[in-house]
Amino acid sequence: MDRERWKEIDAILDAALEMPAAERERFITERTASDPELEKAVLDLLRAAAKADRFMGRPAISLAAESLANAETERTQFGLANALIANYRIERMIGAGGMGDVYLAFDEKLKRNVALKILPPEFSSHDDRVVRFELEARAVSKLNHPGIVTLYDIGVFQGVNYIATEFVEGRTLRELMGGRFKLRNIIANSIQICDALSAAHESGIVHRDI
């Protein structure tokens, strides 16, 4: 499908999304009455968008935000807020996952912000967790791609395992999807994600947490 065709689809879909949900399909059918192929393409995207909206709805996003806030409070109670890990001063939590918590931190040696991933203390005594944590760092260190963060450092400080990587300013994909997301933005972001994953696959690395 050529660029002009995508522009036509995008324009009709955008116009439909501005209307009440009950009127969207009728609007698309009327706008594409002379072009059944165009009608099908726009309706398919509209229905896919509706499914994605139900899956990524506000309640789910709110729940994730609440979970992160609770995790941040819990970690703060353990004294990580403003803590110094090696030469990294922790400022705030910015993410959490199965392999650790991620904080915005300031590198006091090189005077720059970093994303500092820390293996929770309760996992530090599990050899398999520590090995997986180190393998993750080695995997990232092999990659060089604009869509993949750069690894700065890995180490252990007073029993705390950490990985320091490039900190990228901006909004997460989940935050972007919380609002109205244009088709061209979905396509552009999907291409960037696939390009980064392809680079990882070429290096023999499979991301298992997309």
Residue 173: beta bridge partners? Answer: none
Catalytic residues: 209
Render pLDDT for 180-209 as a digit per residue (tens, 0 to 9): 677 777 788 888 889 999 988 888 777 766
Write phi, then psi, for 104 (nearest 5 degrees).
-80, 125
Residue pLDDT, tens place only, 59-80: 444 444 444 445 444 444 345 7
Domain parsing of the chain, residue ranges: 1-55, 61-166
User: Cα-flanking dihedrals φ and ψ of residue 117, to 5°?
Assistant: -95, 130
> What kind of architecture, by CATH, is found in domain 61-166?
2-Layer Sandwich (3.30)
Query: For residue range 31-53, what is the model confidence (pLDDT) as tens digits?
Result: 999 999 899 888 887 886 666 55
Query: What are 75-93's pLDDT values in tens digits?
Result: 443 457 678 999 999 999 8
pLDDT digits (tens, 9 = 90+) for 114-157: 999 998 777 777 777 787 788 778 788 888 888 889 999 988 89
- Three-state SS annotation for 44-109: HHHHHHHHHHHHCCHHHHHHHHHHHHHHHHHHHHCCCCCCEECCEEEEEEEEEECCEEEEEEEECC
